[in-house]
Structure formats: C-alpha cells, structure tokens
Amino acid sequence: MGEFELIDRHFKPKPAAARLHQATAAPDSIATPVVLGIGDDCALLQPAPGMQLAISTDMLVEGRHFLPDVAPARLGHKALAVNLSDLAACGAEPLACTLALALPPERARDDAWLAALAGGLWALADAQRCPLVGGDTTAGPLNLCLTVFGQVPAGQALRRDGARVGDDVWVSGTLGHARLALGALRGEWTLPPQLLAAARTRLECPTPRIALGLALRGIAHSAADVSDGLAGDLGHILRASAVGACLDAQETMKTIAAGAFSASAEGLFDRQTLLRLALTGGDDYELVFTAPPDARSAVQAAGQASATPLARIGRIEAEPGLRLLGADGRIEPLAARAFDHFAP
Ligand code: ADP
Ligand code: MG
C-alpha cells in the first residue's frame, strides 16, 4: 500500500464523520469550522468572528513517550488527548487537528494496527469535535506529532501568567496514577491486577479536560495542564506569574489516594511515596489552576457542569517558590521543577 492509499484508507474521515465535521453549503447544516479537510495542499478552517486561534503541538516518540507494545487504539487516543489537554488548559474550544506520522515499514504494512491507531484517534476526534484535517506521512522510527487548533474569545484564554497572591490552587481529577502504572510496567513495583488495569488506563487513555477548561473561562486567573507532574507544572504558573505557593500535603495526598485507589494504594505505599507520586508523577493530563477565594462556588459549579471532580489544595503567596504544609503544621520547601528530557 502506498502513502496516498494509506492516508485515504485510514486517516480520511469515514462518511458519517465527514458529514459531522465538513462545512456544507446547505443553509441548515450545523456550523462547523472545517471548510476543507484532508486532500488538498492546505486544510481551510473558519474560526468564529471575534475568536483568537489557540495552537499547540505535542510529539509522541516510541520508547520515550509510549512503550512499543501499547495497544494502537490507545496510542491514537493518547496522541490526540495530550494535545487536547493543552487546549483545555487555555480554555479553548477544539476546531481541528493535523497529524505528522513517521512509520517504520513493518507498521505501514500492518493494516489492522493502522486501522486501530486511526480508530482510536478518530473516536476522540469525533467525541471532542476536533477532526483530523491534514498531516504528513513518512517512513522512519515510529513518531506521532499532532497539532491542534482551537478557538477562544479574544482576551479570554486561560494563561500561566495570571495567578495572584491570595488565589486558591485547584487541581482536577486524580494525580499520580499514570506514574503508578508506568512504574509497574517498568518493574519498579508490582500492583494488584485490578489496580494495574485502572492505573494503566489512566496512563494510556487520559481524559482531556476540555469541558472544564471552557467552564473556567472568566473564573480562573491562571491554568496549566499537568503533563510533567503537579509540582513542575504549577511551578510554570508560579514563575510566569512571579508568585509562590503553599500546598496542603493532606489535600494533595487525596488526589492520588482517591476513589478505587484509596484502600489498595494506601496499603501498598507509604504516605511519603504517595505524596511524591501525586506531586511529580506526570502524564496526568489534569488541570491545575488558580482562582480567587470569592469564586469558590463558581469553581465548584464549573466542576459540576463539566462533571469533573476538583480539589482545593493550596494557596498562592507572594514569597516565590513552592512549599508544602505537612499534617504536623511544618512547612518544607519543594522543588517546583518539571520533568526535563535533557536534564543530566
Ligand atoms: P503535500 O505533499 O502537498 O504536503 P501530501 O501529499 O503529503 O501533501 O498529503 C496529501 C494530503 O493528505 C494532504 O491533505 C495532507 O494534509 C494529508 N495527509 C498526509 N498525511 C496525513 C496523515 N498522517 N493524517 C492526515 N492527513 C494526512
Ligand atoms: Mg507531504
């Protein structure tokens, strides 16, 4: 199968999806921003009047961002999910995405693997109304590089540089579960089968918090998505906003020992380890954001409207840096560093 047949067969939207996403001349058609999709030299997008474009790119490299034996449908999902997570962090609504794909020859020949990869990507693309409208395909070591395009009303994007002294620090969902799974897959520790399956789903099938990001527009002062660990990604907000923060260790702990994870994870790991997983785990794709205390009920309403659990874990302070308030009332400094691919 040649390059063009491969694109046509696997990455062009199926007719139902094409109808959903492609703008038509019919006056009663649903407004869709895609004027022209896959097949020409450029895709054409039409953002709504008064909107700014929000653009983000994330690359997934085999061996670095995913294990070679990951299920292809999950890989397709994750490649788009990590990109949508950046749109969520900015409070942007998805418009479309492109995919630059390097495939080793044996993958390019594996029709079932390609169909599953494209199926996983398109399932999330349909669910989040973010169709694939173009890309590039080449031979090479397996690598997926997606770019997402979104829109946000001019001046309303959630940014990293808006945190103010006195803001609450909030985080969505759960933290550390992806790192729990990665450690188990790497043989660093063992997990009971049910816990491993649940943690592995968090690692391989993250949920981009698009609805929450949209609901937080006009409420949150600042936001970032947690891709490299809470301490590091909150650290980005702190530096961009020239402020510091103090996190409550007990509230932060709850974000990892939550739901199905509480009983089993607490039995398996000591509290220090759980806390470290929550703070530095990475690959969570939750949102960390700040909002003033008088917006607490609006934040809770945004969580409810988007069906996203939220936890208030700390406070923005004038003193730079990140600190942790322990159960014993002691405050200790924390490194506010994110995962760095080139760190020595
Ligand atoms: P060009 O050579 O003009 O850059 P290509 O021949 O590489 O275009 O691609 C043909 C069409 O297929 C273009 O619309 C391009 O955006 C699309 N395309 C190529 N690879 C992919 C891919 N992996 N996923 C989605 N669309 C793709
Ligand atoms: Mg090309």
Q: Which ligand is nearest to the CA of 37?
A: 1
In a domain, 191, yes or no: yes
The CB of 11 under 6 Å from ligand 1? The reply is yes
20 and 82 together in one domain:
yes
Q: What is the pLDDT of residue 32?
A: 86
Confidence of residue 272 (pLDDT cuts 50, 70, 90): confident
Pocket test for ligand 1, best of 136, 147, 148 (most atoms within 8 A of CB): 136
Last residue of a domain, one of 153, 169, 201: 153
Task: Point out which residues pair with 52 in neighbouring strands.
Answer: 152
Please provide residue 34's backbone torsions phi and psi, each rounded to the nearest 5 degrees: -90, 110
| Mutational pocket test of ligand 1: of 137, 143, 147, 149, the residue with most ligand atoms within 8 Å of the beta carbon | 137
Please count the structural domains in the chain: 2
Kindly report, residue by residue over 275-286, the tens digit of the pLDDT. 888 999 899 999
> Are residues 265 and 206 both part of a single domain?
yes
pLDDT value at residue 301: 98
CA 204 – ligand 1 centroid, Å: 26
- pLDDT above 90 covers a percentage of the chain that reads 79
Residues 78 and 208 in one domain: no
Q: What is the pLDDT of residues 293-312, one digit of tens each?
A: 999 999 999 999 999 999 99
Using the 3D structure, point to which of 121, 153, 185 is the last residue of a domain: 153
The pLDDT assigned to 303 comes to 98
Q: Does some domain include residue 119?
A: yes
177 & 286 share domain? yes
Task: Please tell me the distance between residue 325's alpha carbon and the centre of ligand 2 in angstroms.
Answer: 53
Residue 218 lies in a domain: yes
Residue 138 main-chain phi, psi, to 5 deg = -145, 165
Of the three residues 133, 153, 173, the one that is the final residue of a domain is 153
CATH number, domain containing residue 60:
3.30.1330.10
Summarised one tens digit per residue, pLDDT across range 61-94 is 999 999 999 999 999 999 999 999 999 999 999 9
Q: Can you give the pLDDT at residue 267?
A: 72
Q: Whose CA is nearest to atom 3 of ligand 1?
A: 41
221 and 164 Cβ atoms separated by less than 8 Å: yes
- CATH code, domain with 291: 3.90.650.10
Residue closest via CA to ligand 1's atom 7 equals: 136
Residues 139 and 41 in one domain: yes
Assess if residue 339 is contained within a domain.
Answer: no
- Together in a domain, 147 and 171: no
pTM of the model: 0.93
Q: Domain limits at 59?
A: 3-153
Name residue, tokens 């997402």.
148
- If we measure between CA atoms, which residue out of 317, 255, 257 comes closest to residue 286? 255
Q: What ligand is nearest to the CA atom of residue 39?
A: 1
For residue 99, which ligand has an atom nearest its CA? 1
**For ligand 2, a single-atom ion, which residues have Cβ within 5 Å?**
136
Residue 341 lies in a domain: no
H helices present in the chain, as ranges:
3-6, 15-21, 72-89, 105-108, 111-127, 177-185, 193-204, 210-215, 230-241, 249-254, 261-268, 271-280, 296-305
Domain shared by 281 and 325, yes or no: yes
343 domain residue, yes or no: no
Judge whether residue 263 has pLDDT over 60: no
CA–CA separation, 321 vs 198, rounded Å? 34
- Which amino acid would we find at residue 222? S
Confirm whether 340 is domain-assigned: no
